[in-house]
Amino acid sequence: MRYVKVLPFAAAASAIVIPDEATIRALATDKAQDVDDAVSSWWHSVPSADELRTSLGDLLSSSLEAVEHKASKLHGYIPDIEFDLFGNEDYEDDDGDHDHDGPPHRGPPPHDGRPPHHRPPHRGHRGDHGHHDISNLTVYQAISASNYTTKFAKLVDEFPDIVKALNSTKANHTVFAPIDRAFDKIPEHHKKPSKEFLEKLLEYHIVPGYFPAGRVLAGHTFPTLLKEEALGGRQQRLRIQLGLFGLRINFYSKIIAPNLTFKNGIVHGIESILVPPPPAQKIVELLPGSFSTLLLAAEKTGLADKAKEHSHDLTGLTIFAPTNSAFRRLGPAANAFLFNSERGLKYLKALLKYHIVANETLYSDAYYGHKKHDGDGDGDDEDKTVEGRATENGHFHVDLPTLLGDRRLSIDIARWYGLIEIKINGFTRVAVQDGVARDGVIHTLNSVLIPPHEQKGALPSGAEISVEDLVERLEGFVSDDGQGDVPVADWIGEL
């Protein structure tokens, strides 16, 4: 029965960690100790960009795969599982179907047209936990004064623009501040990272606007100060979800000290450093427990190499990534044809193209559309970015162009209180939403997407398919002489 899905929410709510009053006071207002004397040089505290990205890959592998494994046992509710920053967990791909991903919180629809909260800076009249001096501090002053964020504050001090933003009372900012023990998880004796990387790292911890825990619960992704070139200069996003062990950011960093309110914003203390995500293709490569079949398909068809060649031309990307179990559901005959025959590889390539959307990034609660430039020939520089805009019943619809010729994906996003469900072509549900990547987003599927047939219609989600039916649905895009098989080099120009 459907009400069974509500049961995990009670456990999830009780698992949120709320620190005691003494800890919050110390975190917010301990001014006595000088930061420079309290910490050692940060040169030994932060790894290089490559090392952090490698660690992030391990994190995503553990978290995404463990989430998928546990979700089937909780009837569609997707928990985030606790693990160490540099840890790893064994995982076997699961066949469960995950209907929903989100907390049972009353919030606005994902596209309700309301922009992030840009009211006058908050004056700290609430959430001061009984300490009368908190409202007099800016976010920067609070982070600098705390004995719990000395290492993060020392990094911030290296960048005057970030200091200025966090010290200004002209706008609110929400900071996800790693406590000092987050830096202890980084191996010692690493070379100094570049200044450019450190600045991006810090920007990825800051969200413009005022987002207390209640508003965080109501959302799924949040735009940061980090402007990502691979997204067409748009804001890189954080994924925040409520799991059985509290609020998790990007699957791995837990919020452990929420709602520290100051006169120009709010601070949430977190247990792990937030690393800007790697490219989508790299994330998929780092998750063989879920996507080894998808990786094999991309390599055998040559799409993996072609994607790397043209990645610099992209201004966003949406990948609907089928898991290993999704390919198994096609049946042994279809898999043998697709992977073990020369003719089948052409159909496999067409099938993969149907899962990729170039230059448009669709999150569960935001949409970065095709960004037009002067070079497009129409003289416009249009940025179709949507942070809201839905009907009153919490429904948002968009048709996304795929790499498979003129075939499009019909996407419906529905929100009920804090739950968001994404359906593709009316049947297929997204199992794990919003895997944020440097160049876009990954949505995990438990079924392979098959193009609808004009006479036969759509194939039921997860159903086996015969070789004859598969060929019939894709033959318009595949031929022995190559006609209809659109060259990868033409992807970007067509979209």
Q: What percent of the chain has pLDDT over 70?
A: 63
% of the chain with per-residue pLDDT over 90 = 53
pTM as predicted: 0.72
Looking at every residue in the chain, the average pLDDT score rounds to 75
| pLDDT band of 384, cuts 50, 70, 90 | low
Which of the four pLDDT bands, split at 50, 70 and 90, describes residue 54? very low
For the residues 213-226, what does the mean pLDDT come to? 93
pLDDT at 372: 67
Residue 13's contacts (CB-CB under 8 Å, 6 or more residues apart) are: 242
Stated as kind and residue range, the H or E segment containing 351 is: helix 342-353
Phi, psi angle pair for 387, to nearest 5° = -105, 0
Query: Rounded CA gap, 204 and 8, in Å?
Result: 30
488 has pLDDT over 50? no
Q: Are 248 and 176 in contact (CB under 8 A)?
A: no
User: In the structure, what pLDDT confidence band is assigned to residue 311 with cuts at 50, 70 and 90?
Assistant: low
In this predicted structure, the answer to whether residue 397 has a pLDDT above a threshold of 60 is yes
What does the pLDDT read at residue 418? 72
Q: How many Å apart are CA 372 and CA 300, to the nearest integer?
A: 33
Look at residues 469, 465, 471 and name the one whose alpha carbon lies nearest to residue 484.
471
Q: Contact at 8 Å (CB) between 224 and 238?
A: yes
Q: Report pLDDT for 461.
A: 66
pLDDT of residue 391: 37
Q: 291 phi and psi, to 5 degrees?
A: -125, 25
Backbone angles phi, psi at 206, to 5 degrees: -120, 125
Q: Which domains does the chain have, with CATH numbers?
A: 134-270 (2.30.180.10), 280-372+385-492 (2.30.180.10)
Q: Tokens standing for 21?
A: 């009053």
What's the mean pLDDT in 69-94?
31
- The pLDDT of 198-211, averaged and rounded, is 98
Q: What is the pLDDT of residue 246?
A: 87
Task: Give 194's DSSP letter.
Answer: P
Residue 358 has pLDDT above 90, yes or no: yes
How long is the chain?
495
Least reliable range by pLDDT among 151-165, 214-228, 362-376: 362-376
Question: Given this model, what pLDDT does residue 326 score?
Answer: 97
How confident is the model over 400-406, as a mean pLDDT? 95
Q: Which residue has the higher pLDDT, 414 or 65?
A: 414
pLDDT above 70 for 348: yes
Q: How confident is residue 57, by pLDDT bands cut at 50, 70 and 90? A: very low
Residue type, 24: I
Q: Give dist(CA 205, CA 139) in Å, integer.
A: 13
- How far are the Cα atoms of 129, 152, 274 from residue 205, in angstroms, in the given order? 23, 10, 7
Q: Which residue has the tokens 């995950």?
A: 98
Q: What is the pLDDT of residues 89-133, one digit of tens each?
A: 333 333 433 333 333 333 333 444 334 444 445 544 444 343 445
Strand order in the sheet with 385-386: 361-362, 367-368, 385-386
pLDDT at 32 over 50: no
46-60, 291-305, 384-398, 399-413: segment of lowest average pLDDT: 46-60
